[in-house]
Amino acid sequence: MIEGVSKVLIEVDDQARARGFWTKTLGFELHQECTHGEEPWVEVRTPDKGLILVLSPRQENRPSASGMLATSNVFFCCDDLAETYDELRARGVEFTQPPVELSFGWWSMFQDQEGNRFALHPCDATCPETTERPRGVIR
């Protein structure tokens, strides 16, 4: 039986730049850096040690999404969305979508220096069946 997700591969144009973004800017830890054959292999781990991102050299052209439709295959959570948004913006992180409440709840979207987009939402967010807002969201 599958017990969880351990690693997510993120394609990047520049592994050194991506490593710096994830470790220095976002506070992830360098988990592993080595080579597999001739291929460089870089892994960073979330502060809670729950997930490893593999920063893999991009193999094809970057996928594009409509500027009107912000998309992401990876969703990160935080205790306080407003505080995390302010903290990351102060560190130079580019947000393509500031915190906003949509039909599925509060969330925002940021991107790394490689152009990959990532969603950010409160960890305790649930489907908005009530009028109660999750802790740390902006009104």
Query: Which residue stretches of the chain have pLDDT < 50?
Result: 68-69, 130-131, 133, 139
**Selection from 47, 8, 54, 41 nearest residue 26 by Cα:** 47
Q: What is the pLDDT of residue 57?
A: 92
The answer to whether residue 103 sits within a structural domain is yes
Which CATH number belongs to the domain containing residue 110 in this structure? 3.10.180.10
Co-location of 52 and 92 in the same domain: no
Co-location of 83 and 54 in the same domain: no
Co-location of 49 and 73 in the same domain: no
Co-location of 73 and 132 in the same domain: yes
pTM of the model: 0.75
Q: Give the residue from 33, 58, 83 where a domain finishes.
A: 58
The answer to whether residue 111 sits within a structural domain is yes
Co-location of 89 and 118 in the same domain: yes
Which residues fall within 8 angstroms of residue 105, CB to CB, at 6 or more apart? 121, 122, 125, 126, 127, 128, 134
Measured distance CA(88)–CA(137) in Å, rounded: 15
Number of compact structural domains in the chain: 2
The beta-strand segments (E) located in 2-116 are 7-12, 29-36, 39-45, 52-57, 75-78, 94-102, 105-111
Give the residue numbers spanning the domain of 76: 68-139
Measured distance CA(112)–CA(93) in Å, rounded: 7
